[in-house]
Amino acid sequence: MLNKPAKKSIKPAIWLATGAILGLLLAAWFLPGGLELHITPLTKGGPLLVLPLNPGERFTVHYYHSVENAPVWEEHSLDEKGRIYIEEERYLKFGAGMGRMPGVGRMVRREPYEVIEEMHMPTGDFIMRIGSPGVDHTIIWRGTKTNLSAVAPHKAVRFSARPVSLLYKMYRSLFPHSATPAQGIRDL
């Protein structure tokens, strides 16, 4: 009598692989993956910008002061919980509403600019009214520039951030949000 070769069951291997994949996905769902900053009009519609950021990474709001017509740069960062901080202000000269706040940061000169550095002052979510073209409220992030004054002049927008999971970060690295600037210059 011929012996039939024993059939090896592949079911345990499939269950093991499925369990491992589900375990990895579950872990990625709960592991921190960074942050996402949303710049969204108060009135209606989706975000104008969605910026993935790491804790401590900076983004800049650049504009021309409406009274002095002088350039201003405000550098901001996020902490691991998504709280927004202003880190530095840089400008050519003091204008209306500009200048040092006692107890906040350190005033230095980086020719030709006046700089308040080491501010690390919490702003939390904040609302900014975008200026006209010419004021050119521009967001600078990872080598991209997005001129909000060109797309939403005179609109009030909310800057808000939130932590995201590692799984969400991986998803967005494959499928970026439509409001996330691509590499290079995005001058809307």
Task: Say if 187 falls within a structural domain.
Answer: no
Answer yes or no: is 126 within a domain: yes
Residue 95, domain member (yes or no): yes
In a domain, 53, yes or no: yes
Q: What crossing angle do the helices spanning 166-174 and 11-30 adopt, rounded to 10°? A: 100
Q: Is residue 57 part of a domain?
A: yes
Count of structural domains, the chain = 1
- Per the domain annotation, does 140 fall within a domain? yes
Please compute the mean of the pLDDT values over residues 107-126 and round it to a whole number.
92
Residue 45 lies in a domain: yes
The rounded percent of the chain whose pLDDT value lies above 70 is 80
Domain membership of residue 86 as a residue range? 33-174
Residue 110 lies in a domain: yes
Q: Which tokens is 68 given?
A: 């002095």
Amino acid occupying residue 68: E
CB atoms within 10 A of CB 146: 21
Higher pLDDT, 35 or 4: 35
